[in-house]
Structure 1
Amino acid sequence: MFDTMTMTKIVGGLCGALLIFLLGAWGAQVLYGDYGHKDDHAQAYTIDTGSEDAVEEVVEEVPFEELYAVADAGAGERLWRQCQACHKLDPGANGVGPHLHGVVGREKHAADGYDYSDGLLATTGAWTPENLSGFLENPKEYAPGTKMAYRGMGDAEDRANLIAYLATFQ
């Protein structure tokens, strides 16, 4: 089916196509690249983007206590949907995570019948709104070794709203 002449034509065609692509790349480099230019001259035309004149806007962080004071429990109820896959609000009804009924102000690792991880057992104190906010922001950083797989809630206002919603279940 293929003889020597057919194979020679195919190889010659591939080599010719490669040569065309290489010449095209070289021509584009000459036209559009810095081929042969040195850095000793200024650019012909510069577009002013104003980036040198831009003033960095300083974002003042509001203390969590102030956010919690004006938190909206209704907005926190919508955020609760993320949590209810693992936690329950019924007293004593543990799921994958401990029940969260009365969690605001409750001592840490005090949900009866729940097997807490060593990372969370290492923390002490009560679940104050500030402690809950720190935990919800980044659980792995707050309690290294925790079983909680949640990545965290970055927005402080959302955390305050969620904690305000949890506080309604006391």
Structure 2
Amino acid sequence: MSALIGVLKSVAALCLALAIFYVMNLAAGALYTQRGLEQPAYVILADDAPAEAAAEAPSFEELLANASAASGERLFRECQACHRVEEGVHGVGPSLYGVVGRDVASFDDFRYSAAFSAIEGVWTPERIDALITNPQGFARGTAMTYAGMRRASDRADVIAYLQSLGM
């Protein structure tokens, strides 16, 4: 008898849950259904607006020409958790002293990840910009855990600071 009561309680609980779900669904449908509106309350425009905004944004070259090394030094504090700017002094990441114009993965006394060891060429401002925008996108599989710097003007300031090192 007690087993039958347990089954009946379970069936009753399931029915109650379904009834509550049904009532909540009706209530939500009533809240979000548009009836009797002749025009929408607002219109979402096509992707033309972002294209116009992107066209108005200054180029990387313009941002770099107007960048502030002093601001870049302040912003570089995020990088100091792993990188040093003293010549030949490495942290978790390699020294960034004189990095602009230096070959990628060029220190013999630093163990680079395979992602950076495979990259050929030199560190140009454009390459550094791509790296600090999205490290994982630039060097897929890198051990670098930095999420990236979103503002282009901030990246230009950091690059201006890096350019000022080792001159």
1:153 maps to which residue? 149
Are 1:143 and 2:135 counterparts?
A: no
Matches within 5 A, 1:9-158: 22=19, 26=23, 29=26, 33=29, 43-46=35-38, 48-51=40-43, 56-57=48-49, 58-59=52-53, 60=55, 61-158=57-154
Separation in 1, partners of 2:127, 2:24: 64
**Aligned residues with identical type, % of pairs:** 39
SS at match of 2:159: helix
In structure 2, the gaps of 5 or more residues are: none
Counterpart residue number, 1:3: none
Q: Give the number of the structure whose alpha-carbon radius of gyration is greater.
A: 1
* Partner AA of 1:68 in structure 2: L
User: TM-score of the superposition, structure 1-length normalised?
Assistant: 0.72
Gaps of 5+ in 1: 1-7, 35-41
In structure 2, the CA distance between the partners of 1:110 and 1:32, relative to structure 1 (3 Å rule), is closer
Distance change in 2, residues 1:33/1:119 (3 Å): closer
Cα RMSD for the two superposed structures: 3.5
| Amino acid of the structure 1 residue aligned with 2:35 | Q
- Superposed CA deviations along residues 63-104 of structure 1, whole A, max 9, x for unmatched, are 211211111112211211110000111111111000111111
What's the offset of the Cα at 1:135?
Answer: 1.0
| Runs of 4+ displaced beyond 2 Å | 25-29, 31-34, 45-50, 52-56
Higher helix share: 2
